[in-house]
């Protein structure tokens, strides 16, 4: 006997009804799980505009950032700035890319220049022209006052996508106490490569006679090329490349230049000091070593000023880097602000970016954080000059800006090229390979990448 | 066709309806988990398989189909082979050491010794510890100038080693930490296995005059073999997937000597944003682990004794 049609109908109806129920339950459960994760930005009840600001400034400068934001909010009562800290630059770019995809990008983010390519390809950030020429325009005089090297880095393929927030330069961090102990005058830091080598040797001590050095004269920054400090190692090598008279890439960006004789000279210096001091048996945590007075000299940046200042038992200072065979040079870098297209308040966000460039704000930020000003005009702020007299380390960095060189921007495959170079630096020193051989290989690999772009 | 009486038919129908209701209720109860599982496990697995045949940088809207290009590019890249051999070295170092230590500890803790619970907890603690926190501690243990390990060695007059900055020592340092971190799990599994061996076998062996060593080789080991087999398979899989400790302890260095497969995958995916290439690495890793497991099942199953 067949099942009566009526009964079958009721049955399928019931299933259908239950299926609906199932679907609805699933949806509700799903929503309740997903919704809290993508809660939208809401307007403050008091009608204030809130702009979110992501950054990975060195953690010791975070209190200075809070002061800066307070100052901005006092001058702009209608706007609040919510700063969110991301511990490393690598994590920041990953978070930014993910946020752009899920439509939760911040209004403005602090970025490294080499992040721009990814953000531009994702069509995530505005060009600065749109604001500079907009209703709340930035005068040409202000633009031209910013260090040109910083502006070059803020561009990608000739278009300006960000504004500098602060500048950095590298200097030579010295422990004055260890200088005195070794019979050296701490006010006479090394002036050229020969003096650097000689002093480094003199400050390297085997205290207990076990054949190993307990005190290191100079830290040559060799880090695993595959790790988070690979780019930092390359950055610290650039001053030596410039001092030898070299550069990173040709002006038209068709060919890298780290197989040049100048580059080989610079890496040979590193290799010789590295081997001479037997640095491969020393820690790579140079900041810990400097804090524990087992390291006399290191290449360092202004962002660390607040860190060293907190260590009251440390007698330290910063000197400009020694001159090389070709010239006096250090590497200039900037850290930048980019405005996201997903921002609901681009006007207010631009106000923040523009405010950041004001000479007195730049002076304020530099004095609090240790970062360097991005424009010349700050040097004519009296308060700032008076302050520099009381802060020799910051003054050394600011004065280094006068002869600082920005590496020419690499618009294509910059991360991979930096990594090839990092690998060469590690191989020549720790790996004891010939500098010329490893640099030529790194340059050949990089040039192959650049050629593949041109062919496209 | 069997003709059912109207009564039986009705009865059967109501039973069917009840069963359906049960199934629906079951599915409803499962739905939150199923949803999360499919969203965060099934979808990424399928999507990364799809991606492994495409070129995608995570930013662009479209994924360009490239066929087997990603797989071909990986296989001709010498870096992949060096990364694979690093991973194999890590596995060869970790798995046997891990199993021997876990078995020895389980064997000792199976006896009624004082403080066995405390010891068992202590050995298991590293397993539940956050791998990043643990790796940070080990960075200090391996620190060349003030580190605990070098201090310990110096007591015996052994010269200090820069553990994390020496291409040969770094892999050893990684293996040592890997064993410390994971042998607790195997210890618990071995303990359970040991407790499952009936006491009578040992009594019988004792009456027959077998010594402790003989008992271990002829009773404990064979009867433990199902556990041992399980642990071997799982340990090989997990050591092929090692990532977090490498990331924090050595970042693949020095000179790329500790760069393992998953680190290589991570680097390509989240540093260079080559999602297609990285997905292909993931599927190659899957294939390697799958084949290794098949081989073990085929050749080692025969020597496993089930009670």
Instruction: Say yes or no to pLDDT of B94 above 90.
Output: yes
Find where tokens 């070098």 sit: B150
* Strand positions, DSSP E, A302-388: 316-319, 330-339
Tell whether B57 is covered by a domain.
no
| Same-domain pairing of B76 and B222 | yes
CB-CB neighbors (< 8 A) of B249 in chain A: none
Instruction: Examine the domain organization and report whether B198 and B228 are in the same domain.
Output: yes
| Residue B231 C-alpha, separation from nearest chain A C-alpha, in angstroms | 32
Q: Domain check: are B47 and B77 in the same one?
A: no
Residue B257: closest CA among chain A residues belongs to which residue?
A: A224
Q: Are residues B43 and B78 in the same domain?
A: no
Phi-psi domain of A322 (left: phi exceeds 0; alpha: psi -120 through 50; beta: other): beta
Q: Is the dihedral of CA A131, A134, A136, A139 positive or negative?
A: positive
- In chain B, residues 32-51 whose CB comes closer than 8 Å to chain A: 32, 35-36, 39
Is it the case that residue B14 has pLDDT exceeding 70?
A: yes
CA distance A258 to A421: 8
Q: What is the pLDDT of residue B10?
A: 76
Q: Which residues of A are less than 8 Å from B9 in CB distance?
A: 1, 3
Q: Looking at the DSSP assignment, which residues form a beta bridge with residue A215?
A: A205
Q: Give yes or no: residues B112 and B257 share one domain.
A: yes
Closest CB from A22, A33, A224 relative to B254: A224
**Token pair of A53 as six digits:** 């600001």
Query: For residue B306, is pLDDT > 50?
Result: yes
Q: In terms of CA atoms, which chain A residue is nearest residue B157?
A: A210
H or E element: which one contains A109? Answer: strand A108-112
Nearest to B224 by CA among B104, B111, B92, B49: B104
Q: Are B147 and B97 in contact (CB under 8 A)?
A: no
Instruction: Tell me which chain A residues have a C-beta less than 8 angstroms from the C-beta of B21.
Output: 18
Helix runs in A203-258, H state only: 230-243
pLDDT in tens, B191-239: 999 999 999 999 999 999 888 899 999 999 999 999 999 999 999 999 9
Q: Are B125 and B204 contained in the same domain? A: yes
Q: Which of B24, B60, B252 is opposite residue A227, by nearest beta carbon?
A: B252
- Are residues B145 and A29, on separate chains, in Cβ contact within 8 Å? no
pLDDT at B286 over 80: yes
Minimum CA–CA partner of B253 in chain A: A224
CA distances from A59 to A85, A144, A291, A447, B56 (A): 8, 31, 17, 37, 34
Same domain? B28 vs B106:
no
- Set of chain B residues whose Cβ sits within 8 Å of the Cβ of A2: none
Whether residue B63 is contained in a domain is answered as no
DSSP for chain B?
-----HHHHHHHHHHHHHHHHHHHHHHHHHHHHHHHHIIIIIHHHHHHHHHTTEE--SSSS--EE-TTHHHHHHHH-HHHHHHHHHHHHHHHHHHHHHHHHHHHHHHHHHS--TTHHHHHHHHHHHHHS-HHHHHHHHHHHT-TTT-HHHHHHHHTTPPP--GGGSHHHHHHHHHHHHHHHHHHHHHHHHHHHHHTS-HHHHHHHHHTT--HHHHIIIIIHHHHHHHHHHHHHHHHHHHHT--HHHHHHTTT-STTTT--HHHHHHHHHHTS--HHHHHHHHHHHHHHHHHHHHHHHHHHGGG----
Integer Cα distance of B96 and B104 in angstroms:
12
Rounded to 5°, angle at Cα A262 from A261 and A263: 90
Q: Which pair of structure tokens corresponds to residue A175? A: 């422990």
Mean pLDDT for the stretch of residues B44-65 = 89
DSSP letter for each residue of A124-189: -B--THHHHTSSS---HHHHHHB-HHHHHHTEETTEE--EEEEEEE-EEEEEHHHHHHTT--TTS-
Q: Among residues A387, A24, A336, A89, which one has the least CA distance to residue A228?
A: A89
Are both B100 and B189 inside the same structural domain?
yes
Tokens of B297: 């099942």
Q: State the total domains in chain B.
A: 2
CATH assignment at residue B188 = 1.10.3720.10
Q: Report helix, strand or coil for A55.
A: strand
Nearest to B237 by CA among B95, B71, B52, B124: B95
Q: State the residue for tokens 């960095």.
A: A397
- Say what angle helices A414-429 and A261-276 make with each other, to 10 degrees: 50
C-beta neighbour count of A281 within 10 angstroms: 17
- Per 3-state DSSP, chain A is made up of helix, strand and coil in percentages (nearest 5) of 50, 15, 30
pLDDT tens per residue, range B161-200: 899 999 899 999 999 999 999 999 999 999 999 999 999 9
Is 3.20.20.70 the CATH number for A49-168+333-401?
no
Identify whether the C-beta of residue A224 lies closer than 8 Å to the C-beta of residue A428.
no
Is the peptide bond preceding residue A237 cis, with omega within 30 degrees of 0? no
Span(s) in chain A for CATH 3.40.190.10: 49-168+333-401, 171-331+407-455
* Residue count of chain B: 307
Q: Write the pLDDT tens digit of every residue in A329-365.
A: 999 998 999 999 999 999 999 999 999 999 999 999 9
The count of other CB atoms within 10 Å of the CB of residue A215 is 19
User: How far apart, in whole angstroms, are the C-alpha atoms of residue B93 and residue B103?
Assistant: 16
8 Å CB contact between A102 and A38:
yes
Helix (H), strand (E) at residue A217: strand A216-219
pLDDT of residue B1: 46
**Per-residue CA distances from A317 to A178, A283, A322, A384 (Å):** 12, 22, 15, 19
Least CB-CB distance to B259: which of A25, A226, A415? A226
Amino acid A456: pLDDT: 44
Asked if B151 has any chain A CB less than 8 Å from its own CB, the reply is no
Cα–Cα dist B151/B136, whole Å? 18
**CA B159 distance to own-chain centroid:** 34
Query: CA of A48, closest CA in chain B: separation in Å?
Result: 32
The CA distances from residue A427 to A274, A371, B253, in Å, are: 12, 32, 11
Domain coverage including residue B172 = 72-303
Of B24, B59, B252, the CB nearest to A22: B24
Neighbours of A153 (CB within 10 A): 24
| Closest residue to A33, CB basis, from B36, B146, B250 | B36
- Are the beta carbons of B162 and A282 separated by less than 8 Å? yes
Q: Do B255 and A416 touch (CB under 8 A)?
A: no
B256 in reach of chain A (CB within 8 A)? yes
The reported pLDDT for the residue numbered A21 is 52
Q: What is the mean pLDDT of residues B278-287?
A: 96
Question: Nearest CA of chain A to the CA of B166: how many Å?
Answer: 8
Helix (H, G, I), strand (E, B) or coil at A375: strand
ipTM metric = 0.83
Does residue B291 sit in the same domain as residue B211? Answer: yes
Considering only alpha carbons, which residue of chain B is nearest residue A8? B13
Q: How large is the average pLDDT for residues B25-52?
A: 93
Contacts of A407 (CB under 8 A, 6+ apart): A238, A247, A248, A249, A331
Contacts of A25 in chain B (CB under 8 A): 28, 31
Of the partner residues B20, B57, B250, the one whose CB lies closest to the CB of residue A121: B57
| B11 and B109 housed in the same domain | no
The torsion region of residue A319 among left (phi > 0), alpha (psi -120 to 50) and beta comes to beta
Taking the CB of residue B20, how many other CB atoms lie within 10 A of it? 14
Beta bridge partners of A337: A110, A163
CB-based contact A21 B28, cutoff 8 Å: yes
B21 and B165 both lie in a single domain: no
Which pairing describes strands A216-219 and A295-300: parallel, antiparallel, or unpaired? parallel
Question: Domain A171-331+407-455 falls in which CATH fold?
Answer: D-Maltodextrin-Binding Protein; domain 2 (3.40.190)
Which tokens is A291 given? 């804090």
Q: Is B62 part of any domain?
A: no
Could B271 and A285 be called an inter-chain contact, meaning their C-beta atoms sit closer than 8 Å?
no
Whether residue A416 and residue B164 make contact (CB cut-off 8 A), yes or no, is no
Q: Which of A99, A102, A81 is nearest to A91 (CA)?
A: A99
Nearest to A356 by CA among A11, A48, A30, A83: A83
In angstroms, rounded to a whole number, what is the distance separating the alpha carbons of residues A270 and A238?
Answer: 12
Minimal CA separation from B247 to chain A, in Å: 8
Is B198 found in the same domain as B281?
yes
Residues in chain A, pLDDT under 50: 1-16, 33-44, 455-456
Instruction: Please report where in the chains the tokens 């002076």 appear, as a residue.
Output: A363
Residues of A in contact with B267 (CB under 8 A): 226
């Amino acid at each position: 006997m067949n099942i009566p049609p009526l009964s079958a109908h009721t049955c399928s109806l019931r299933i259908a009804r239950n299926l609906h129920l199932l679907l609805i339950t699933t949806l509700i459960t799903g929503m309740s799980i997903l919704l809290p994760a993508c809660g939208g930005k809401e307007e403050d009840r008091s009608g204030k505009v809130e702009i979110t600001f992501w950054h990975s400034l060195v953690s010791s400068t975070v209190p200075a950032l809070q002061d800066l934001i307070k100052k901005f909010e006092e001058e702009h009562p209608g706007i609040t700035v919510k700063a969110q800290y991301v511990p490393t630059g690598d994590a920041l770019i990953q978070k930014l890319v993910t946020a752009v995809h899920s439509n939760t990008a911040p209004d403005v983010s602090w970025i490294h220049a080499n992040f721009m390519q990814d953000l531009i390809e994702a069509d995530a950030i505005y060009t600065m022209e749109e604001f500079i020429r907009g209703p709340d325009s930035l005068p040409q005089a202000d633009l031209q006052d910013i260090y040109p090297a910083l502006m070059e880095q803020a561009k990608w393929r000739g278009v300006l996508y960000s504004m500098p927030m602060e500048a950095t330069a590298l200097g030579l961090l010295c422990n004055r106490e260890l200088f005195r102990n070794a019979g050296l005058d701490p006010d006479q830091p090394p002036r050229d490569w020969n003096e650097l080598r000689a002093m480094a040797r003199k400050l390297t001590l085997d205290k207990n006679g076990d054949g190993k050095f307990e005190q290191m004269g100079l830290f040559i920054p060799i880090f695993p090329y595959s790790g988070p400090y690979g780019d930092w190692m390359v950055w610290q090598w650039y001053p030596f490349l410039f001092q030898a008279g070299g550069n990173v890439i040709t002006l038209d960006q068709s060919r890298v230049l780290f197989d040049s004789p100048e580059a080989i000279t610079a890496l040979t210096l590193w290799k010789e000091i590295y081997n001479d001091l037997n640095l491969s048996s020393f820690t790579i945590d140079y900041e810990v070593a400097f804090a524990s007075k087992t390291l006399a000299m290191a290449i360092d940046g202004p962002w660390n000023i607040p860190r060293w200042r907190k260590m009251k038992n440390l007698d330290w200072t910063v000197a400009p880097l020694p001159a090389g065979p070709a010239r006096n040079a250090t590497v200039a870098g900037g850290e930048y602000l980019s405005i996201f297209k997903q921002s609901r308040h681009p006007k207010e966000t631009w106000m923040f970016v523009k405010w950041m460039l004001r000479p007195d704000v730049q002076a304020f930020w530099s004095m609090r954080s240790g970062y360097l000003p991005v424009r010349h005009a700050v040097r004519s702020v009296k308060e700032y000059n008076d302050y520099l007299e009381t802060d020799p380390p910051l003054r050394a960095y600011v004065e280094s800006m006068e002869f600082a060189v920005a590496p020419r921007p690499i618009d294509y495959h910059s991360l991979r090229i930096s990594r090839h170079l990092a690998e060469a630096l590690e191989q020549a020193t720790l790996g004891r390979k010939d500098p010329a051989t490893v640099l030529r290989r790194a340059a050949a690999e990089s040039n192959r990448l650049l050629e593949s772009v041109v062919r496209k | 066709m069997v003709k059912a009486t109207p009564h039986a038919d009705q009865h059967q129908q109501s039973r069917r309806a009840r069963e359906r209701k049960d199934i629906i209720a079951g599915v409803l109860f499962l739905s939150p988990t199923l949803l999360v599982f499919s969203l965060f496990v099934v979808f990424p697995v399928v999507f990364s398989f799809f991606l492994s045949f495409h070129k995608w940088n995570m930013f662009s809207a479209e994924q360009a189909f490239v066929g087997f290009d990603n797989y071909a590019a990986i296989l001709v890249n010498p870096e992949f082979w060096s990364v694979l051999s690093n991973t194999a070295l890590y596995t060869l170092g970790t798995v046997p050491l891990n199993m021997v230590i876990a078995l020895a500890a389980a064997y000792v803790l199976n006896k009624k010794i004082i403080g066995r619970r405390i010891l068992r907890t202590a050995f298991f603690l590293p397993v539940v510890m956050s791998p990043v926190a643990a790796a940070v501690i080990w960075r200090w243990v391996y620190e060349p100038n003030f580190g605990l390990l070098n201090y310990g060695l110096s007591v015996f007059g052994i010269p200090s080693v820069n553990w994390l900055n020496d291409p040969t020592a770094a892999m050893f340092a990684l293996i040592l930490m890997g064993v410390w971190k994971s042998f607790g799990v195997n210890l618990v599994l071995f303990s359970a296995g040991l407790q499952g061996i009936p006491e009578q076998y040992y009594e019988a062996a004792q009456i027959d005059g077998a010594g402790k060593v003989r008992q271990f080789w002829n009773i404990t080991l064979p009867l433990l073999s199902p556990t041992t087999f399980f642990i071997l398979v799982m340990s090989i899989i997990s050591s092929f997937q090692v990532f977090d400790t490498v990331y924090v302890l050595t970042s693949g260095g020095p000179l790329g000597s500790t760069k393992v497969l998953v680190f290589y995958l991570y680097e390509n995916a989240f540093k260079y944003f080559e999602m297609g290439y990285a997905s292909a690495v993931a599927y190659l890793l899957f294939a390697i682990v799958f084949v290794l497991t098949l081989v073990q099942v085929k050749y080692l199953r025969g020597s496993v004794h089930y009670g």
